[in-house]
């Protein structure tokens, strides 16, 4: 068998997402409402971070006349800076906790809901950053991104496991988990869909920060559910988190490698 040509990569993707979700649910750490609960921690962990190279990468496509659709915009890490560079940004975001943290801007519309259900007008540029890891039905999601873009689609995701203490802790506590889909999976799915994207790899330091040991503990407990071990988990985090100059605690996960698949939408 020719593994690359004969594997159904959308089915492979679905299996990864569903297996990981089932493992989390079996451990009482289900992902339902995950982004609502994690919104503030996620924003705090990235705040002050000027090392996400995605906006610099996007610069050549930006102009004051363009419109942008940001699918899974979170707290507006990209949507807000983009609003000051383009004519209009529409942010699609299902998690209320995230939307509450998204600061308003005169030329920013927020649509509450999942992309699968959203009715959004097409935009010149469609971006989707770090959203697909938990999306089981990836093919229809990607095709909707493509039909919603007039000029270019950009799909950005890690090509490494999540840079979070809970990932390492899970292995240490004997909780082996199916990996999340990564950029390499995305590329194979896109090729299967007949899309030949340009690919740009971005490298940047992965260093989430926590306001306190308690907030790092809270995140790890939620991720591990019944597999959590208070004594070992606490000792692990105390030993491995490094104090920052401003008193916060950082998790030094080394270099992150992510990929952006970007392409001109095919005519339908
Ligand atoms: C890791 S955050 C990334 C947020 C933002 N794009 C960024 O890079 O900072 C993932 C976001 O995707 C959103 N999301 C998850 N599933 C989604 C879906 N089916 N449709 C739209 N957004 C989704 C979550 O609510 C969350 O805000």
In 3D space, the residue among 149, 168, 252 whose CA is nearest the CA of residue 205 turns out to be 252
* Ligand 1 atom having least distance to the Cα of 36: 25
- Encode pLDDT of 72-103 as tens digits: 999 999 999 999 999 999 999 999 999 999 99
Relative to the CA of 52, which ligand 1 atom is closest?
A: 8
pLDDT for 47: 62
How far apart (Å, rounded) are the C-alpha atoms in residues 185 and 132? 11
Query: Mean pLDDT lowest for which of 1-10, 24-33, 186-195, 204-213?
Result: 24-33
Give the mean model confidence (pLDDT) for residues 157-176: 92
CA 246 to ligand 1 center in whole angstroms: 28
- Quote the tokens at residue 115: 């992309």
Which helix (H) or strand (E) is 157 found in, with range? strand 149-158
Q: Whose CA is nearest to atom 18 of ligand 1?
A: 114
Which residue, by CA, sits nearest to atom 10 of ligand 1? 131
Percent of the chain with pLDDT over 70: 98
The model's pLDDT over 116-154, given as tens digits with 9 standing for 90+, comes to: 999 999 999 999 999 999 999 999 999 999 999 999 999
| The architecture CATH gives domain 3-263 | 3-Layer(aba) Sandwich (3.40)
What's the rounded Cα separation, in Å, for the pair 60 and 226?
47
| pLDDT for res 36 | 72
Give the Å distance between the CA of 211 and the centre of ligand 1: 22
Break the chain into its structural domains and give their ranges.
Answer: 3-263
Q: Which token pair is 108?
A: 């920013």
Nearest CA to ligand 1 atom 14: 72
Q: How far is the CA of 70 from the centre of ligand 1 (A)?
A: 9
Mutate to test the pocket of ligand 1, among 21, 34, 39, 94 (most ligand atoms within 8 A of CB): 94
For the purposes of burial, counting CB atoms within 10 Å of the CB of 225, is it exposed (0-12), middle (13-18) or buried (19 or more)?
A: middle
Average pLDDT for 109-119: 98
Residue whose Cα lies nearest atom 13 of ligand 1: it is 72
């Amino acid at each position: 068998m020719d593994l690359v040509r004969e594997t159904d990569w959308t089915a492979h993707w679905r299996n990864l997402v569903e297996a990981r979700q089932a493992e989390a649910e079996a451990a009482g750490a289900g992902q339902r409402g995950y982004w609502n609960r994690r919104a503030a921690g996620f924003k705090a962990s990235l705040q002050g971070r000027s090392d996400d190279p995605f906006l610099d990468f996007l610069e050549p496509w930006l102009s004051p006349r363009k419109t942008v659709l940001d699918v899974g915009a979170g707290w507006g890490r990209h949507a807000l800076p983009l609003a000051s560079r383009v004519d209009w940004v529409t942010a699609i975001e299902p998690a209320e906790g995230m939307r509450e943290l998204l600061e308003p801007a005169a030329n920013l519309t927020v649509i509450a809901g999942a992309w699968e259900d959203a009715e959004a007008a097409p935009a010149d540029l469609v971006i989707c950053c770090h959203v697909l890891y938990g999306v089981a039905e990836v093919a229809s999601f990607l095709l909707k991104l493509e039909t919603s873009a007039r000029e270019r689609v950009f799909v950005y995701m890690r090509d490494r496991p999540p840079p979070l203490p809970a990932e390492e802790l899970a292995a240490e506590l004997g909780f082996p988990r199916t990996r999340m889909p990564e950029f390499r999976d995305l590329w194979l799915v896109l090729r299967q869909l007949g899309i030949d994207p340009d690919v740009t790899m971005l490298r940047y330091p992965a260093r989430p920060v926590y306001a306190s040991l308690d907030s790092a503990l809270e995140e790890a407990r939620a991720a591990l559910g019944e597999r959590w071990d208070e004594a070992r988990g606490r000792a692990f985090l105390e030993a491995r988190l490094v104090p920052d100059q401003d008193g916060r605690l950082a998790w030094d996960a080394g270099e992150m490698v992510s990929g952006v698949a970007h392409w001109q939408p095919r005519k339908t």
